[in-house]
Amino acid sequence: MAMDLGPRLRAVAQLALPCETLADIGTDHAYLPLFALEEGMVRRAIATDVREGPLSRARAHLAARGLLPRVSLRLGDGLEPLQVGEADVIVSAGLGGRAQADMVARREEVARSARRLVFQPMGGGHVLRQTLYRLGFHLAAEVAVCEADKPYEIVAAEYRGGPDPAYRTALPALCDRGLGPDEAWEALWMVGPLLCQTNDPCLRRRIEGETRRTERAMARVERAEDPTSHAAKMEVLARQQKIWTALLGMWEEDGA
């Protein structure tokens, strides 16, 4: 029976495959390489993890399906186990965005040598996007997907050098909603310049959740015994709320 990926990894696969050699960073059970090989969408795969336990599980799964000879299992952190030009697509799904940003910055030459990078960050997507922008990687696609009632984002990037024009293209619509330039850039780091121009239901669920969390945080600050001591915190929360409101308002104008 073919490997059945959940919505999250299926969306990652759609942005990563087909390719010649897939590198799956933080592979855990090696579900993605296994799926890609069984579907004939890669010739070979590299599966890495920072711990031996996940690699042992991956080895067992691959061996059980007769695919172990086509996968190189490697112990190591981030992109350290990879050589320049070894994989044409590199995937990292399920790690924090800060860790993903750090792995690209530390082994920039390896990241640049791949045709495409695909990330599914568990939080910290704004840090990942800022790092990709700074290093000259352009966003090729952004997807929002819900799994078990939880929204996720997937980001595909390719090295092209220079500023990513997707950000400049997306800025005017946010500024038209009352955001200043700095606030609009902050919105793009958090949501993504490609995603923010869609009314994707999973992204909308995430923004609505963030809006509710920000409202609750503001209420807690207002109930504090000495609210004046929390003025700086309230200013940050009000700025965030302004961004979420602008995004939702833009979609409502589109007939959502």
Containing 24, the helix (H) or strand (E) segment is strand 21-25
pLDDT interval class at 227 (50, 70, 90)? low
- Furthest-apart CA pair in the chain: how many Å? 65
Structure tokens at 154: 């997937």
Distance of alpha carbon 143 from alpha carbon 251, whole angstroms: 17
Residue 223: count other Cβ atoms within 10 Å of its Cβ. Answer: 8
Q: What is the pLDDT of residues 94-105, one digit of tens each?
A: 999 999 999 999
- For residues 194 and 167, give the distance between their C-alpha atoms in angstroms, rounded to a whole number: 8
The answer to whether residue 244 scores a pLDDT higher than 70 is yes
User: How high is the pLDDT of residue 255?
Assistant: 45
Q: Mean pLDDT across the stretch 207-233?
A: 85
Mean pLDDT, residues 71-88: 98
Going by pLDDT thresholds of 50, 70 and 90, the confidence category of residue 230 is: confident
Mean pLDDT over each residue of the chain, to the nearest integer:
93
Q: Please report which confidence band the pLDDT of residue 45 belongs to, taking 50, 70 and 90 as the band edges.
A: very high
**Cβ proximity of 166 and 139 under 8 Å:** yes
Q: Quick check: 28 and 57 in contact, CB under 8 A?
A: yes
Q: What is the mean pLDDT of residues 105-121?
A: 98
The burial of 153, by beta-carbon neighbours within 10 Å (0-12 exposed, 13-18 middle, 19 or more buried), is given as: buried
Q: How far apart are CA 177 and CA 246, in angstroms?
A: 6
